[in-house]
Structure 1
Amino acid sequence: MDLNYSPEDQAFRATVRTFLEANLPADLQHKVQRHLRLTRGDYVRWHKIVAKQGWAAPAWPVEYGGPGWNAVQRHIWEEECARAGTPPILPFGINMVAPVIMAFGNDEQKAHYLPRILHCDDWWCQGYSEPGSGSDLASLKTTAERQGDHYIVNGQKTWTTLGQHADMIFCLVRTDTSVRKQEGISFLLIDMKTPGITVRPIIMLDEDHEVNEVFFDNVKVPVTNLIGKENKGWTYAKYLLGHERTGIAAVGRSRKELHLLKRIAAKQMKKGKSLLEDPLFAAKVANLEIELMALETTVLRTISQEEHAPGPQASMLKVRGSEIQQWLTELMMEAVGPNALPFDPVYLSGERGHALSGDDDAAPLAGHYFNFRKTSIYGGSNEIQKNIITQMILGL
């Protein structure tokens, strides 16, 4: 595998950079670069800007509206978006449910949902985890009982990211309780405006409303919203999780955070020198940068195998990517020390120009640190991913 960028790759990078410089709104860039909270409107506005250019779904086939990029071009796009400070294109529609619809949905489902996902006409959320069914996802208890041309759904989902904004939710539901737990699960697409759905916020330590509980009380879902075959949802769920875990690696975003870490450390003085010149701290940063370079190579190798669905490599990327993201937040906290402690929700909301502490870089770090504790849990906990790697690669 050639790790050097070709002249064509460099020309593509220049095209992407020109587009971002011309089209990324300054207020969105400021929010992302300062770790400020993004609103629903922020996410949708950026998605629609990119969709108008035809670049909202880098990995999609051309027949469904993708740009036809190869693996290196997709990596360059991610890298340049991170460097510029763009809001992320949320993965729930583009990278998670859309590949499932493409692979297992019927023609009517593809024709209806894929264009709406591509242009962010629908905001999607994920209905997987339940109280007591997280890493052991197959133990889920939300039921869907077939009654004529509808399913009646009852149960609860939790940790539903940004579900308060969602138009649609893709859900794993139990349609057969008489078989092995993995064999009685189906994959449903549910309109969040359907009567019987209640969304209850879960407020986190930093007082942000990012995740939710979602309750289903006799919710009627058309049978036409079933993806693939009834009771085969576990197969589709694993397929989706492979795409999610590959995306969790987030090399471009981690590279941006590494630059921020270096900038923060360069400002912190210790015995007349910057913290970045301290041998012990500099060694930690160097080790982290080496790990990130290795992850980048592995990501490129994995996504270049375009003809294969994500396999155990996706679990490897998820484990290492999430660990690196957590190391970055830990080193930032270590660099600023007590300056990370002040909690400034007004600044984080973007309603005030500067942090009360006087250090805009340090103000979001405590909340950022706590929030990133989740990366080693969501998408399948890292402990479970290591079991998957052991079983699929070592055969143990």
Structure 2
Amino acid sequence: MSNTTVIAPRRGFDLTSSAFLLVAFLTGIAGALQTPTLSLFLTNEVHVRPAMVGFFFTGSAVIGILVSQFLAGRSDRQGDRKSLIVFCCVLGMMACVLFAWNRNYFILLFVGVFLSSFGSTSNPQMFALAREHADKTGREAVMFSSILRAQVSLAWVIGPPVAYALAMGFGFTTMYLSAAVAYVICGVIVWLFLPSMRKVRPAAGTRLEAPRTNRRDALLLFGICTLMWGTNSLYIINMPLFIIDELHLPEKLAGVMMGTAAGLEIPTMLIAGYYAKRFGKRFLMRIAVVAGIFFYVGMLTVHSPALLLAMQLLNAIYIGILAGIGMLYFQDLMPGQAGAATTLYSNTTRVGWIIAGSMAGVVAEIWSYHAVFWIALGMCIITTFGLWQIKDV
């Protein structure tokens, strides 16, 4: 009798935690099935010019920022975040169905991207709900969030090769319908197993004070994370062309380098989450930036495949800490605003992509692919000055 009493609460707690892990993975998979093949889809299926492909990425980033910021503020002020996540999953599923069968560029850009922006917002909202749940239940928030973030990284290790296999083997309709199924399963799990955290009126007073106190640091952190994600986007856009066209190395090396970095990011996030309490988030972010500086110096000087692969450890430290600790840093600087903080962090990725997308092609065309890494190194150095101005939490 006493045995069942001991096991029951643990099973309930584990079920909620497992549901969060599964939702993190599925929202990651839904994105990882769509994003890597998008330029190929627009070129081969929608039949648009390269300039229109670039405009699609920029437009989707801008629409995504507007949608996610609107939902973030609303989710922190009123309603149940759980219901919002389910709503976002439904709209994400509708976007996937539209992309599966529609081939009109402007309908996809204005309707499809609008719907998919809601779908992608389910991920930061899930992290916000996880933070609120951890705070309420007394769970270690840093480590829990780091494990959740690692699930998203795992999804991005698995998702892209599966996306290409589905698109090349069965067609884009099958690939987008698979992403739609991921959203449906995710919505069902959220509805059945994630906790409801309804907004309580008395907390409103504290929520108003927090942004005023930490506004400068939150804006500074936004700039820091944007620059860091911007350098990573420059690397992702530029590296394959640099490896193939300038270093004349095998094409598959670029894929192996990306896969190696993604795999190493997972243990990096978990280790950073474990030590965050002991050393502080600012110290870990400084380690990340130093690793980033060494990494881009290496990209400018190293040309052997073995060393390029070895340097992915530095890249994993740089991006792994940013991905795992950056979001928590925002949440600590904006207490009582988990949704706004998490979405603000996720938008640094979008803004970083806009910056990188507009710079990478121009710099490579005027100078070389090699020169793009000088820009990335300069952005890393600017980031170090910002990190010395921000307060620790």
TM-score by length of 2: 0.34
Q: Whose strand proportion is higher, 1 or 2? A: 1
TM-score by length of 1: 0.34
